[in-house]
Amino acid sequence: MIFNTGRHMKVKFRRLGLTLSAAASVLSACGGGSNDSSNNPALNPTDTASDVRASAIVAQMTLDEKISQVHGAGTTCAVSGASCIPGIPRLGIPDQVPTDSSAGVKTSLPNNLALAATFDTQLAYAYGDLIGKEVRQLGFTESLGGGVNIARELRNGRNYEYLGEDPLLTGDFIVARTKAVQAHKVVSTVKHFAANSQETNRYTASSNVDERTLRELYLLPFEMAVKDSQVGNVMCAYNFVNGIKACQNAHLITDILKNEWGFKGKVQSDWELALDDGVQGANAGLDEEETGSANDYVLGPFGKYSQFNQRLKAAVQSGAVPTSRLNDMVKRKLRTLIEVGVLDDAPTATTIPADQLSAGAKFSQSVAEQSMVLLKNAVHTGSNNATLPLTASTTGKIVVIGGNADRAVMGGGGSGHAPGADASVVACFRPGTKVGSAGVEPACAPWYASSPLSAIKSAAPNATVSYIDGTDAQAASAAASNADAAIVFATRFQSEDIDLPSLSLSNALTDPANQAYDQDALITAVSAKAKRVIVVLEVGTAVTMPWIDSVDSVLVAWYPGPQGGPAIADVLFGAANPSAKLPISFPKRDADLPEGPITGESLVYNYTEELNIGYRWFDAKQIEPLFPFGFGLSYTTYAYGNVSATPDGQGNFNVTFTVTNTGTRAGVETPQVYAGIPFGGEPPKRLVAYQKVALAPGESKNVTLNVDAKRLGVWDDSSQKWILPGGSYSFYVGGSSRNVLATSGGTVTQRSL
Ligand code: BGC
């Protein structure tokens, strides 16, 4: 494993009692402010009622009060979260407590990459809805989910927290999530701004990326979150972008985010080490330091001083940071609290009712079932049927092998992990020991106590189902030779702070804390003897499969959450029909990726592949992936036809086609529309539209998807603007990025967007 050079540690605050009750009306609570005329934040002609109200509160605040609102400060909030900014009761400002909630805060959900595999934005809304509701019920004001870093580097340890390799899919999902979370009067976050593509040297390395690539790939989801869902909080990243720390980067924060996109919320630093020059940060547009501290002159736990408390005050007093900037920082905070509804209706911590939690668990299982991607499903020699779904009646003897499938399913690590894992169900082999040149602890995977084995037994009550762990490949292979079906579970742990050394399944060498044996060797040995082999992968990014030709079926279950066991069994036995698609490409080998292995030696990551990441890379270089972006099988089959595309005269296109269920089961297909853009440097195609379509057996539907001109936009370096390039457009329609029907969309003239 490749570790970060700094050790990550979550700062937890003590629970001190009850949340402050919702404060009285701000205007009536005003009073006691300083007489300093610089306290009067200027009003603009375009100010909304929220702006005016926020400015009125700022005008009442003392310098110390303002400073208190722009940094986390330790342990004085009533609920315990990732940080705490104490409120100011006299002004009706409540405590502000963010909580990590990437995949849930009380109810744990499958990870975000799994969610993206559903290609279902309504489900993304429901996912955000559950999270927002619980975040508020628990008394928090801000949700720290919303990771949208594009999977440029498939070995990035945090890919499981993000939404895959496509900026449109990622953008659509963050917009749905943000709207849902903020509807619960919770400030939603989008993170990590920007180009935060790997964990190795994350505090020190610079992502060097040209403007066009930045805009079209890495910034687009942020832009959508700002413009299409009015996200309240943007968390800037630990890394440098083009040599300047992201949280001190005026081009990113002020020029693009605030001035160009019109973002009116606040910019919050990532935790602990994102800021090293408070004056530069404040003047670049950073609005809030996390985790901050009660004293900027006491060395923090990570060997750095905080910046936005006494140091910022001194900088404002000396004029190094203008008072107008401090006022703006506070105004943005207050305006967001007003807009989202926190200021007038602050949360009070409550107990989440049991029936809500059980509905949440059902939802979690349903998301897991909808997110699992069936990659291979061969007809076994001597049989007429595909291997999956298994039928309880024809599968007399099943052996389940490895992956702790008798006890648990794996979760990802770090702040993206949703609570609810039971650490004791699976032992970590090296807790607390030190390995690696960076001298950091190997991470122990969290596991949810949900047994696929028990669920398989319930699904096949008349079958003989046995379990053998994977430590002895020969014993597993012998057991498999005796069974009608062998189901091999393979897991690979990923976490914040740690990148993967390769896309291979892990073994005892590459993950000594969590893995005792060579999983590739196990699958190969079992395949040599078994009648049917089904591989279930619990992973948070792509996997290489040297054994792919010798297994019958492969199901990617991602990190499926606490109902993973029953969800996997439901898919294996056909109670659920797989409908998910890969939100990332699966390459045949690491050497097919644009980048060499992450060695930890470099402090500069040059994005020299420019726009060619993920499927764009495989298309541009004509490399056959193992499984392409957008790919996923079902227990039925689909056919496409009658594809046509017409421009509407406004720069948009309507793409029309038929999709037919050619099999014997009802299913849900995800037609995808890709466009070839007539502009130099663009990859052969990009995803521009998609939709879930439910089809009964034999049913055919005519589908028209509108492709908004914005989705065809190119960042024009010469004018520094988005344009719709003039020329002739091609469209490609199908059930994956590779299996497509092409059509010409006709010609349009260039226009600005
Ligand atoms: C992570 C953030 C997270 C924060 C608070 C940081 O290390 O990068 O994504 O929200 O910790 O836990």
SS (H, E, C) 31-56: CCCCCCHHHCCCCCCCCCHHHHHHHH
Tell me, in angstroms, the distance from the centre of ligand 1 to residue 384's CA. Answer: 51
Give residue 7 CA to ligand 1 midpoint distance, Å: 12
Q: CA 323, CA 675: separation in Å to the nearest integer?
A: 48
Residue 690 has which token pair? 């998609």
Check if the beta carbon of residue 713 is closer than 8 Å to that of residue 753: yes
Q: Which amino acid is residue 198, in one-letter code?
A: Q
* Residue minimizing CA distance to atom 4 of ligand 1: 271
User: Is the CB–ligand 1 distance for residue 270 below 6 Å?
Assistant: yes
Distance 582 CA to ligand 1 centre (A): 26
Domain coordinates in residue numbering, the chain: 359-605, 636-752
CB-ligand 1 contact for 148 (6 Å cutoff) = no
Q: How far apart are CA 644 and CA 655, in angstroms?
A: 6
- Which of these, 79, 143, 80, 133, lies nearest to 112 by C-alpha position? 143
Q: Name the closest-CA residue to atom 7, ligand 1.
A: 271
What are 83's two structure tokens?
Answer: 């940080």
The reported pLDDT for the residue numbered 661 is 98
Residue 709 CB less than 6 A away from ligand 1: no
Residue nearest to atom 11 of ligand 1 (CA): 271
Candidate of 144, 159, 234, 269 to mutate for ligand 1, largest count of ligand atoms within 8 Å of Cβ: 144
Ligand 1 atom at minimum distance from 161 CA: 9
Going from the Cα of 143 to the center of ligand 1, the distance in angstroms, rounded, reads 11
CA of 239 to the centre of ligand 1 (A): 13
Q: What is the spatial distance between Cα 189 and Cα 353, in angstroms, rounded to a whole number?
A: 26
User: Best of 7, 111, 415 to mutate for ligand 1, by most ligand atoms within 8 A of CB?
Assistant: 415
Residue 199 is classified by DSSP as -
Task: Identify the H or E element spanning 676.
Answer: strand 672-676
Q: Hey, whose CA ends up nearest to atom 9 of ligand 1? A: 415
Is 406 within 8 Å of 451 (Cβ atoms)? yes
Distance between CA 608 and CA 270 in Å, rounded?
A: 26
Atom of ligand 1 nearest to the CA of 415: 12
Q: What is the pTM of this model?
A: 0.94
Check if CATH label 3.40.50.1700 holds for domain 359-605: yes
Q: What string of H, E and C letters represents the secondary structure of 467-519? A: EECCCCHHHHHHHHHCCCEEEEEEECCCECCEECCCCCCCCCCCCCCCCCCCH
Write the CA distances from 63 to 37, 269, 277, 297, 702, integer angstroms.
Answer: 12, 21, 20, 19, 62
How many C-beta atoms surround the C-beta of residue 591 within 10 A? 10
For tokens 């499938």, what's the residue? 405
CA-atom Rg of the chain in angstroms? 26
Q: Is the CB of 271 under 6 A from ligand 1?
A: yes
Task: Tell which atom from ligand 1 comes closest to the C-alpha of 192.
Answer: 9
Whole-number Å distance, alpha carbon 494 to ligand 1 midpoint, is 15
Q: Is the CB of 686 under 6 A from ligand 1?
A: no
Cα 204 to middle of ligand 1, angstroms: 16
Q: Distance from CA of residue 174 to its chain's centroid? A: 9
Is there a contact between 77 and 294 (Cβ–Cβ < 8 Å)?
A: no
Q: How much is the pLDDT for 342?
A: 98
- Residue 731: both structure tokens together: 């469209």
Residues 344-403 have pLDDT tens digits of 999 999 999 999 999 999 999 999 999 999 999 999 777 889 999 999 777 899 999 999
Number of CB atoms found within 10 A of residue 341's CB: 17
The answer to whether 145 and 102 have CB atoms below 8 angstroms apart is yes
Distance 209 CA to ligand 1 centre (A): 23
CA of 636 to the centre of ligand 1 (A): 41
| 565: helix, strand or coil | helix
Rounded distance, CA 312 to CA 71, Å?
A: 10
Does 100 sit in the ligand 1 pocket, CB within 6 Å?
yes
pLDDT computed for residue 26 by the predictor:
32
Ligand 1 pocket test, pick from 142, 187, 190, 496 with the greatest ligand atom count within 8 Å of Cβ, gives 496
DSSP 8-state assignment for residue 88: B
Å from CA of 366 to ligand 1 middle: 27
Per the structure block, which two tokens stand in for 746?
A: 């006709």
Characterize the bridge pairing of strands 553-556 and 373-377: antiparallel
Half-sphere exposure of 656 (CA within 13 A, CB side): 8
Check the CA dihedral 50-56-59-65 and report its sign.
Answer: negative
- Ligand 1 pocket check for 7: Cβ under 6 Å: no
Q: Give the C-alpha separation, 233 to 175, whole Å.
A: 13
Distance, in Å, from the CA atom of 269 to the CA atom of 359, rounded to the nearest integer, reads: 35
**Residue linked to tokens 């040209």:** 210
Question: Which residue's alpha carbon is nearest to atom 6 within ligand 1?
Answer: 271
Interatomic CA distance for residues 45 and 494, integer angstroms: 49
The residues, any chain, with a CB within 8 Å of residue 504's CB and separated by 6 or more, are: 510, 520, 543, 544, 546, 590
The atom of ligand 1 lying closest to the CA of 191 is 9
Is 390 exposed, middle or buried (CB count within 10 Å of its CB: 0-12, 13-18, 19+)?
buried
- Report the 10 Å Cβ neighbour count for 382: 6
The CATH architecture annotation of domain 636-752 reads Sandwich (2.60)
Probe ligand 1: pick from 100, 135, 187, max atoms within 8 Å of CB?
A: 100
pLDDT tens digit string along 255-277?
999 999 999 999 999 998 999 99
Strand order across the 727-734 sheet = 686-690, 672-676, 727-734, 740-748
Element (H, E) at 281: helix 278-284
Q: Among residues 40, 35, 71, which one has the least CA distance to residue 55?
A: 40
Q: State the DSSP code for 23.
A: P
- The 10 Å Cβ neighbour count of residue 603 is 12
Please say whether the beta carbons of 242 and 206 come within 8 A: yes
Q: How far is the CA of 314 from the centre of ligand 1 (A)?
A: 28
Torsion, Cα of 302, 305, 309, 313 (10° steps): -160
Strand-pair category, 447-448 with 409-410: antiparallel
Q: In which residue ranges of the chain is pLDDT below 50?
A: 1, 3-38, 433-441
Ligand 1 centroid–CA 19 distance in Å is 23
Please state the atom number of ligand 1 nearest to the C-alpha of residue 189. 10
Q: In angstroms, what is the span from residue 105 Cα to ligand 1's centroid?
A: 14
Q: What is the DSSP letter of 186?
A: -
Q: Verify whether ligand 1 is closer than 6 Å to residue 635 (CB atom).
A: no
Q: Of 149, 346, 170, 142, whose CA–CA distance to 233 is shortest?
A: 142
Question: Which residues have C-beta within 8 Å of that of residue 228, sequence separation ≥ 6?
Answer: 171, 175
Nearest-atom number in ligand 1 for the CA of 147 is 9
| Amino acid, res. 562 | P
The first and second tokens of residue 455, run together, are 């669920």
Ligand 1 centre to CA of 152 (Å) is 20
The whole-angstrom separation of Cα 436 and Cα 320 is 42
Residues β-bridged to residue 673: 689, 733
Atom number of ligand 1 nearest to Cα 83:
5
- CB hemisphere CA count around 112 (13 angstroms): 34
Q: Which residues pair with 464 in a beta bridge?
A: 397
Question: Is 149 within 8 Å of 158 (Cβ atoms)?
Answer: yes
Nearest alpha carbon, ligand 1 atom 8: 270
Which of ligand 1's atoms lies nearest the C-alpha of 291?
5
Q: Is 10 in the pocket of ligand 1 (CB under 6 A)?
A: yes
Query: Ligand 1 centre from 271 Cα, in Å?
Result: 6
Is residue 82 lining ligand 1, measured as CB closer than 6 Å? yes
CB 246 within 8 A of CB 239: yes
Quick one: tokens of 540? Answer: 């948070």
Span from the CA of 175 to the centroid of ligand 1 (angstroms): 20
Residue 144, ligand 1, Cβ within 6 A? yes
